């Protein structure tokens, strides 16, 4: 599997018109880069309370289903990534007041990439039950995305068509 390509000019690239350039990558890679999907999905992404997380996750999950209905794998995968990010960010805030997980600033060259990169993790606080519930809500939708037969089929088709060459 080829990694997400951070070297593309995402500010000037419409991946709905050029799905051949899209690489799934790992986890949430590219979630805040890939247009027009970022602009379509981001305004709906919220997790501050369980009620907000429920509305957000349901809206983005419906977008996921709508993208699937039009065979738009890139859109579906981006919606899946936003839902996954709802889970991971809510979990981070459940474990770390203020959402700061590591000591020090994030190096500019590492933004959007997974892993701690050798930074020291701050101690976990007592779990915030509100953020934990928000995370649980997003996790349910994330599981539905990953297990969706249409998504699985489109992902395989995309990989065979564009990534495995």
Nearest to 85 by CA among 35, 139, 37, 38: 139
Instruction: Report, in this order, helix, strand and coil percent for the chain, each rounded to 5.
Output: 60, 0, 40
Is residue 142 a part of any domain in this protein? yes
86 belongs to a structural domain: yes
Taking every pair of C-alpha atoms in the chain, what is the biggest distance, in angstroms? 48
Note whether residue 79 is domain-resident.
Answer: yes
CA distance 148 to 7: 30
The answer to the question of residue 110 being in a domain is no
Q: Find the DSSP H helices in 33-105.
A: 37-41, 50-69, 73-95
Answer yes or no: pTM beyond 0.75.
yes
In-domain check, residue 2: no
Structural domain of 46 = 10-20+30-102+123-163
Q: What is the pLDDT of residues 27-58, one digit of tens each?
A: 999 999 999 999 999 999 999 999 999 999 99
Q: How do residues 107-137 score in pLDDT, each as one tens digit? A: 444 444 445 556 777 666 678 889 999 999 9
């Amino acid at each position: 599997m080829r990694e997400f390509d951070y070297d593309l000019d995402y500010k000037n690239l419409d991946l709905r018109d050029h799905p051949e350039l899209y690489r799934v990558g790992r986890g949430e890679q590219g979630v805040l880069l890939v247009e027009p999907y970022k602009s379509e999905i981001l305004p709906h992404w919220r997790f501050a309370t369980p009620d907000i997380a429920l509305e957000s996750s349901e809206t983005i999950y419906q977008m996921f289903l709508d993208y699937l209905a039009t065979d738009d794998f890139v859109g579906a995968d981006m919606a899946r990534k936003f839902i996954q990010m709802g889970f991971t960010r809510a979990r981070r805030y459940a474990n770390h007041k203020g959402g700061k997980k590591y000591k020090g600033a994030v190096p500019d060259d590492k933004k959007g990439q997974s892993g701690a990169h050798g930074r020291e993790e701050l101690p976990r606080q007592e779990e915030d039950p509100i953020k934990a519930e928000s995370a649980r809500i997003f996790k349910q939708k994330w599981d539905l995305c990953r297990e969706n037969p249409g998504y699985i089929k489109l992902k395989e088709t995309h990989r065979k068509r564009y990534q495995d060459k």
